[in-house]
Structure 1
């Protein structure tokens, strides 16, 4: 609190000098809208990027960033979503980074996710439809230097233990009939700086928003007629679930009125001082020599080994028609499907149709050329 008061005092003293030249962002400037496609690049090992002290009229040079991972997120009409009936007030549908659907309410002051439909937040391979209560605000408007907002949200997911792939509860001294995941978030958003940001392929006038989120993920179990019991502490030692417990997540988002993507998002360590990775607007350039680089198409399989469900995640795929073939080790195709893809694409795959063993997954384009090959191991519960 003492540090925050000192920061506040210093910013107030400097405001007459800083206000000239800063931008104000309205909802129409940077809220995603139907028909948009957000294109970003992530550098998982950034160099030449530092977190500066708060203040205005700054100049950030992130042109050393490289392309570790590219992604496209489409924004559409929620009526086309698989879970549209669960969110009748949603007016925007947006692809999620993990491959699911996000149902949003967008107005003149907030861009907020009402609910998520897709793979569970603990990464155990089952599908969920999870509403946020209240909605989780991702963007605010108007956005000005020194804006301060506090926000809380939560979601709860309950599912029968028999519907969860594998035997992940075998390590527990109890056998639950149902489990319930509770995720609670408390967040502080402060627009602490403004200036000019340079990334590969562009220079932008930006506001920097520091977001500090305290996230607590709890796991409950229900057995027979007994009430729900919190088993988080027990599960932390006994279950292969990394997301449980409390965590502090600090990000710095650089927003502009020239793009619907964040120009850059720094993921920092919990102290907010060390850069861990940077996601930035994809301008088709990955270094300051202005060389346009087309990343090679790729795909991954997760979870692998798979017990019941896995998913194919495709990246940097040029627009076109593609075929996925799954071969057993005798070279016989045991499954085939076709996809229309452009950039980033995710497909869920139920492996119960396959026998236990090793398989080769081959992605080919419409010319019959192999794009990539991955091994898939199918195990039994």
Structure 2
């Protein structure tokens, strides 16, 4: 398995002809941070591209079905802090559920949880710790990095702590049972397989794409008198209750400037069909997907282009910008300086360019990437 990923890493390295970002620990959450995200449960037009780079991803079609603000507090503000003495941060959900985190120079780790059990189908107040802690973010993070974290949870409940009828509804016998135990094992393959620029509603970012494949096995056991002791009843409970084996594939688009993950695309088990996308909420869409403010737009007309491409700019802040055009190998083939102010059209001479597909970037004078796109040059 490791040899396979090494070979893939070498293949990806061969395509690294364009400077990629390095994600540092400056993007780790800290006390007082409020991370704003939105989720589209029915994404359209989102394509999972092949590994490599540089790439341009256009997720501006995303809508908003749900919005969330995650506030990171000092761990000491949590009610269960005494049981997580190594924690530095805590998030507290609307129902009082607490998640504790440890932050180091190289890792942002999930230590555990206090609240209603999220591991399976049991509405039981519990507290558990990951062993070892689960790394949510790693730094420094670079193209072709590979990580393979593993963790487990093992937590037992007295039968008296479980609401009446819950086990019966799952088909789990309770005669002679005094307690139950939930065991979760999880392993994850994290491969930074692509890099480029990502556009979402309200912003464009340079990113690394990390593919995460997570394998979980959630078991439920009942405690019976000797000589049986712990007995696995996962099959009786069934996968519908959240027990059994599962595989989750997601793609994380991570920037080196923002604390939110720019986008997390959760796919089907084949890893190709997006099922939902959670993305950084820049405040340009409401919960009904109505725009709340004008945003900078750039388009190329006609497309495909001939000898001259018309770059049309709308709602641009006054300033000095660089237009950079790259071929499919990531080589910059043209650069123009532009003075933009509001709405205007800039003709760009493309006659010398060979026929093919080209990517472009708009860079503000301060070095920030503010626009991307692609066009086709006719022969």
How high is the TM-score relative to the length of structure 1?
Answer: 0.71
Runs of 4+ in 1 over 3 A off after TM superposition: 1-9, 95-99
Residue 130 to residue 206, structure 1, CA distance change in 2 (3 Å)? same
CA contact (8 A) 1:201 1:290 kept: no
In the alignment, what sits opposite 2:323? none
- For residues 90 and 255 of structure 1, the distance between their equivalents in structure 2, rounded to whole angstroms, comes to 24
CA contact (8 A) 2:212 2:250 kept: yes
- For residues 173 and 291 of structure 1, the distance between their equivalents in structure 2, rounded to whole angstroms, comes to 54
Deviation (angstroms), 1:292: 1.5
Matches within 5 A, 1:283-298: 283-286=282-285, 291-292=291-292
In the alignment, what sits opposite 2:138? 140
- For residues 98 and 58 of structure 1, the distance between their equivalents in structure 2, rounded to whole angstroms, comes to 41
Matches within 5 A, 1:1-381: 4=5, 7-15=8-16, 17-18=17-18, 20=19, 22-28=20-26, 30-95=27-92, 100-121=97-118, 122-170=120-168, 171-175=171-175, 176-225=177-226, 226-236=228-238, 242-286=241-285, 291-292=291-292
Q: Which region of structure 1 is more displaced relative to structure 2, 127-136 or 174-183?
A: 174-183
- For residues 97 and 270 of structure 1, the distance between their equivalents in structure 2, rounded to whole angstroms, comes to 31
Measured against aligned partners, the alpha-carbon deviations of 1:52-93 in whole angstroms (never above 9, x if no partner) come to 111121100000000000011110101010100001111111
Paired residues, number? 285
Structure (1 or 2) with the larger CA radius of gyration: 2
Measured against aligned partners, the alpha-carbon deviations of 1:18-74 in whole angstroms (never above 9, x if no partner) come to 3x2x1101111x111000011100000001111011112110000000000001111
Deviation (angstroms), 1:253: 0.5
Deviation (angstroms), 1:3: 7.1
- For residues 271 and 46 of structure 1, the distance between their equivalents in structure 2, rounded to whole angstroms, comes to 17
- For residues 42 and 99 of structure 1, the distance between their equivalents in structure 2, rounded to whole angstroms, comes to 22
Measured against aligned partners, the alpha-carbon deviations of 1:307-346 in whole angstroms (never above 9, x if no partner) come to xxxxxxxxxxxxxxxxxxxxxxxxxxxxxxxxxxxxxxxx
In the alignment, what sits opposite 1:325? none
How high is the TM-score relative to the length of structure 2?
Answer: 0.71
Measured against aligned partners, the alpha-carbon deviations of 1:87-138 in whole angstroms (never above 9, x if no partner) come to 1111111245986211111011000011111111224322111111100110
Q: Structure 2: give runs of 5+ residues left out of the alignment.
A: 294-379
CA contact (8 A) 2:209 2:251 kept: yes
Deviation (angstroms), 1:174: 4.4
- For residues 250 and 144 of structure 1, the distance between their equivalents in structure 2, rounded to whole angstroms, comes to 20
Deviation (angstroms), 1:169: 2.1
CA contact (8 A) 1:23 1:206 kept: yes
CA contact (8 A) 1:200 1:290 kept: no
Deviation (angstroms), 1:157: 1.7
- For residues 90 and 8 of structure 1, the distance between their equivalents in structure 2, rounded to whole angstroms, comes to 34
